[in-house]
């Protein structure tokens, strides 16, 4: 029953999130194989602002210290990703498993558990083994890559599943497909519209890659359900990103349709097959025709065996959608929609942060949560949420550790979660992005999303105020022990 001011459940899980390539470094250590990000970050001319993850935050050597920080911040959970190429350096199902890589992640897991922190493990955060890209085109070979991903998932369940009970198959498959194969802004940087890309076809590749990601997810979950769930008793899901969209012109029904279509192109693309075992949204079929790969009856039967436990939501911001006029170009990936940060009246969607694409829009976060819960009906964990403060990239440490914008952002977004719970959504956890300032992909070491300041010269870490406050921000919004109705 909705109450006047819903609270977070007592057993609400919370903590901080990271990803392997953004923090680990140690790229040539411990038998790790190359990933597509190693290659991408070393292209000349640079496509990543001359930055790379060779050292990053040196978490590979400093994880104990980083986990001490988690303890100091009061986190009960920590989300990190495993680098596929540390576990299977060449990536494939017939390639050797690297025991040193297994040992490294065993240490991480054990060290978290010793501190009473629950590990949440992402299997794939964009770092495909380079060898698979070279061998058969990586994500472009739908049949091959899903078998290799399934095998990699099996190794992880077998070797870590006695202690890891929370699995996320993929992080943001949309970004992998679109940035990797449509705009070329992320590894492997393929695109037919980006001047810096020499290979790729924006009109077809993102859609093929999307199917490969969906089927890889499905294989890993079906495997977990069949062979591991009954003994390991864990949960498994996927983390999908996607902004919330409002119509640019509140009076124009075509803009209302455009908002919905924009979200279907982003989220429904993956969520329909993954959570509903259904075909892609109708609006995608309509616009893309046979460029959108079909699901065969076998694919559907696999999707049906891949029922997962939760919807992992990565949410940062919202935008306005204005309907495109005329036919969408063949390279369009957005659903023939213009994305804007101001509506027709010139009202901004939210308060500016330290990054041009990110404005704080907590009211729309509430709508987003409520919409997603209604559509897909799975308990939601927010697996990423956070921001850089205005001007933070230019600040010295002493200034940066004082981060009122981030504190307000966390407060407002946690309030939005409470309001969506009031709307009837089941929301079970929250991970702030990120534990540390880290490599922000093609933006290099500019934007600082961390609750911990990283000095990239000395690699010293310093907690920002928000890191120490998140615990209280959450505790204030928690009620009595949940009554089991969820
Ligand atoms: C990704 C993170 C990234 C963050 C901020 C998400 O898209 O999962 O790796 O650092 O957003 O851009």
* Closest by Cα among 122, 126, 261 to 185: 126
Across 207-235, average pLDDT:
99
Find the 436 Cα to ligand 1 centroid distance in Å. 12
Across 243-259, average pLDDT:
98
Strand partners, 168: 122, 237
Q: Does residue 7 lie within any of the structural domains?
A: no
What pLDDT band is residue 480 in, cutting at 50, 70 and 90? low
Q: Is 19 in the pocket of ligand 1 (CB under 6 A)?
A: yes
pLDDT at 481: 61
Protein residue whose Cα sits closest to atom 9 of ligand 1: 19
Shortest-distance atom of ligand 1 to CA 241: 7
Find the 206 Cα to ligand 1 centroid distance in Å. 19
What pLDDT band is residue 486 in, cutting at 50, 70 and 90? very low
Q: Does residue 246 lie within any of the structural domains?
A: yes
Q: Are 304 and 404 in contact (CB under 8 A)?
A: no
What pLDDT band is residue 46 in, cutting at 50, 70 and 90? very high
What pLDDT band is residue 218 in, cutting at 50, 70 and 90? very high
Between CA 180 and CA 189 the distance in angstroms is 5
Q: Is 56 in the pocket of ligand 1 (CB under 6 A)?
A: no
Q: Does residue 386 lie within any of the structural domains?
A: yes
Q: Is 384 in the pocket of ligand 1 (CB under 6 A)?
A: yes
Residue with tokens 């459940």: 9
Find the 471 Cα to ligand 1 centroid distance in Å. 22
Please tell me what DSSP assigns to residue 53. T
| Tokens encoding 432 | 């702030």
Across 135-142, average pLDDT:
99
**b/e sequence 211-237, b meaning 16+ C-beta within 10 Å:** bbbbbbbbbbbbbbbeebbeebebbbb
| Tokens encoding 370 | 């409520």
Q: Per 3-state DSSP, what percentage of the chain is helix, strand, and coil (rounded to 5)? A: 45, 15, 40
- CA angle 318-320-325, nearest 5°? 145
Q: What is the pLDDT of residues 66-103, one digit of tens each?
A: 999 999 999 999 999 999 999 999 999 999 999 999 99
* Closest by Cα among 192, 184, 340, 178 to 266: 178
Does the pTM surpass 0.95? The reply is yes
Across 31-48, average pLDDT:
98
pLDDT at 479: 76
CATH number at residue 260: 3.20.20.80
Between CA 325 and CA 44 the distance in angstroms is 38
Q: Does residue 2 lie within any of the structural domains?
A: no
Q: Is 433 in the pocket of ligand 1 (CB under 6 A)?
A: yes
Q: What is the pLDDT of residues 335-394, one digit of tens each?
A: 999 999 999 999 999 999 999 999 999 999 999 999 999 999 999 999 999 999 999 999
Shortest-distance atom of ligand 1 to CA 438: 10
Q: Does residue 400 lie within any of the structural domains?
A: yes
Q: Is 241 in the pocket of ligand 1 (CB under 6 A)?
A: yes
Q: Is 440 in the pocket of ligand 1 (CB under 6 A)?
A: yes
Q: What is the pLDDT of residues 49-64, one digit of tens each?
A: 999 999 999 999 999 9
CB-hemisphere CA count at 13 Å for 312? 25
Q: Does residue 5 lie within any of the structural domains?
A: no
pLDDT at 20: 99
Between CA 205 and CA 201 the distance in angstroms is 6
Across 292-312, average pLDDT:
98
| Tokens encoding 374 | 């209604």
Shortest-distance atom of ligand 1 to CA 239: 8
Find the 369 Cα to ligand 1 centroid distance in Å. 19
Q: Does residue 221 lie within any of the structural domains?
A: yes
Protein residue whose Cα sits closest to atom 12 of ligand 1: 440
Number of domains in the chain: 1
Q: Is 449 in the pocket of ligand 1 (CB under 6 A)?
A: yes
Q: Does residue 373 lie within any of the structural domains?
A: yes
Protein residue whose Cα sits closest to atom 10 of ligand 1: 440
pLDDT at 485: 47
Find the 171 Cα to ligand 1 centroid distance in Å. 9
Find the 191 Cα to ligand 1 centroid distance in Å. 21
**b/e sequence 110-120, b meaning 16+ C-beta within 10 Å:** ebbeeeebbbb
Which range marks the domain in which residue 28 is found?
A: 13-477
**Best mutation site among 172, 317, 383 for ligand 1, i.e. most ligand atoms within 8 A of its Cβ?**
172
**Best mutation site among 266, 441, 447, 454 for ligand 1, i.e. most ligand atoms within 8 A of its Cβ?**
441
Between CA 253 and CA 327 the distance in angstroms is 18
pLDDT above 90 as % of the chain: 97
Query: Which of 114-118, 291-295, 477-481 has the weakest average pLDDT?
Result: 477-481
Which active-site residues does the annotation give?
172, 384
pLDDT at 416: 98
pLDDT at 160 over 70: yes
Shortest-distance atom of ligand 1 to CA 443: 12
pLDDT at 400 over 60: yes
Find the 482 Cα to ligand 1 centroid distance in Å. 31
Q: Are 391 and 404 in contact (CB under 8 A)?
A: no
Find the 456 Cα to ligand 1 centroid distance in Å. 19
Burial of 178 (0-12, 13-18, 19+ CB in 10 A): buried
Q: Is 80 in the pocket of ligand 1 (CB under 6 A)?
A: no
Q: Are 471 and 73 in contact (CB under 8 A)?
A: yes
Across 439-456, average pLDDT:
98
pLDDT at 3: 43
pLDDT at 1: 38
Between CA 270 and CA 276 the distance in angstroms is 10
Shortest-distance atom of ligand 1 to CA 19: 9
* Closest by Cα among 172, 161, 323 to 248: 323
């Amino acid at each position: 029953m909705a109450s006047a001011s819903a609270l977070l459940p007592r057993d609400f899980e919370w903590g901080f999130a990271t990803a392997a390539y953004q923090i680990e470094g140690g790229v040539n250590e411990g038998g790790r194989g190359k990933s597509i990000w190693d290659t991408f970050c070393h292209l000349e001319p640079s496509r990543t602002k001359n930055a790379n993850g060779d050292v990053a935050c040196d978490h590979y050597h400093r994880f104990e210290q980083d986990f001490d920080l988690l303890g100091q911040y009061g986190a009960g959970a920590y989300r990190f990703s495993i680098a596929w190429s540390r576990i299977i350096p060449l990536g494939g199902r017939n390639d050797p498993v690297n025991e040193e890589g297994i040992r490294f992640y065993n240490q991480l897991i054990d060290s978290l558990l010793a501190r009473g922190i629950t590990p949440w493990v992402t299997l794939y955060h964009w770092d495909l083994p380079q060898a698979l890209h070279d061998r058969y085109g990586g994500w472009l070979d739908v049949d091959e890559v899903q078998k290799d991903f399934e095998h990699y998932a099996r190794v992880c369940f077998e070797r870590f599943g006695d202690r890891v009970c929370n699995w996320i198959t993929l992080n943001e498959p949309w970004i992998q497909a679109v940035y990797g194969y449509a705009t070329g802004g992320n590894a492997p940087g393929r695109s037919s519209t980006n001047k810096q890309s020499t290979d790729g076809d924006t009109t077809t590749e993102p859609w093929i890659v999307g199917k490969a990601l969906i089927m890889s997810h499905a294989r890993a979950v079906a495997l977990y359900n069949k062979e591991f769930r009954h003994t390991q008793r864990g949960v498994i899901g996927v983390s999908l990103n996607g902004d919330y969209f409002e119509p640019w012109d509140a009076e124009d029904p075509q803009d209302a349709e455009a908002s919905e279509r924009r979200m279907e192109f982003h989220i429904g693309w993956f969520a329909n097959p993954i959570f509903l075992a259904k075909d892609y949204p109708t609006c995608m079929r309509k616009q893309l025709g046979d460029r959108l790969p079909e699901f065969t009856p076998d694919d559907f039967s696999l999707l049906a065996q891949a029922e997962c436990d939760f919807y992992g939501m990565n949410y940062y911001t919202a935008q306005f959608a204005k309907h495109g006029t005329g036919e969408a170009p063949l390279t369009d990936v957005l659903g023939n929609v213009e994305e804007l940060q101001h509506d027709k009246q010139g009202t901004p969607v939210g308060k500016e942060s330290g990054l041009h694409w990110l404005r704080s829009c907590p009211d729309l976060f509430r709508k987003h949560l409520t919409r997603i819960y209604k559509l897909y009906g799975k308990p939601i964990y927010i697996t990423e949420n956070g921001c850089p403060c205005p001007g933070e990239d230019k600040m010295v440490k002493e200034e940066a550790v004082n981060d009122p914008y981030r504190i307000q952002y966390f407060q407002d977004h946690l309030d939005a979660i409470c309001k969506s719970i009031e709307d009837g959504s089941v929301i079970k956890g929250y991970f702030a992005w990120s534990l540390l300032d880290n490599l922000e992909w093609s933006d290099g070491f500019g934007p600082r999303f961390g609750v911990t300041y990283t000095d990239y010269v000395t690699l010293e870490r310093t907690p920002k105020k928000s890191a120490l406050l998140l615990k209280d921000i959450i505790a204030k919004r928690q009620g009595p022990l949940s009554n089991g109705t969820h």
